[in-house]
Amino acid sequence: MARRNDSASPDAGLSRREREIMSILYRQGEATVRDVSERMPDGPGYNAVRVTLGILEKKGRVRHREDGRRYVYRPVVDVVRASRGAVRDMLRTFFARRPSEAILTMLDEASTQLSSEELDEIEAWIRRNRECSR
């Protein structure tokens, strides 16, 4: 079995289709081939999803358990760790490792509409971190 580099993003080295499947598994927690294929945009066939899940398993990204005749797949890396790795990769790739640049870019998006609660949460985080850095 290939060794996984834990410092790399869980999405590193994955095709678009593999990332789509991983996204479904993260949302569902676990899923069968049929569950995944029914939730995929552009609906690849059952066999294409089955083969891709097999590839993801060989890459060490998913595991399966047997439920009767069906295989039920789940991600190896939990969603929190996966999202942190993806954010690290995004910061390194697009924002020269500067979180402030990424945050400002996200806030500048026309589609970004923050609620009062979200703004309060961000403000509280900034206050806590300012106090810690003094």
What is the C-alpha to C-alpha distance for residues 63 and 47, in angstroms, rounded to an integer? 18
| φ, ψ dihedrals at 71, nearest 5° | -100, 135
Per-residue pLDDT, averaged over 20-28, amounts to 93
Q: Please report, rounded to a whole number, the percentage of residues in the chain having pLDDT higher than 90.
A: 45
Q: What is the pLDDT of residue 90?
A: 86
Q: Is the pLDDT of residue 110 over 80?
A: no
Per-residue pLDDT, averaged over 41-46, amounts to 83
pLDDT classification of 11: cutoffs 50, 70, 90: low
Q: What is the pLDDT of residue 7?
A: 42
Residue-range domain boundaries for the chain: 1-94, 98-134
- Please check whether the domain covering 1-94 is classified as CATH 1.10.10.10: yes
**Taking the CA atoms of the chain, what radius of gyration do you get in angstroms?**
19
Mean of all residue pLDDT scores within the chain: 86
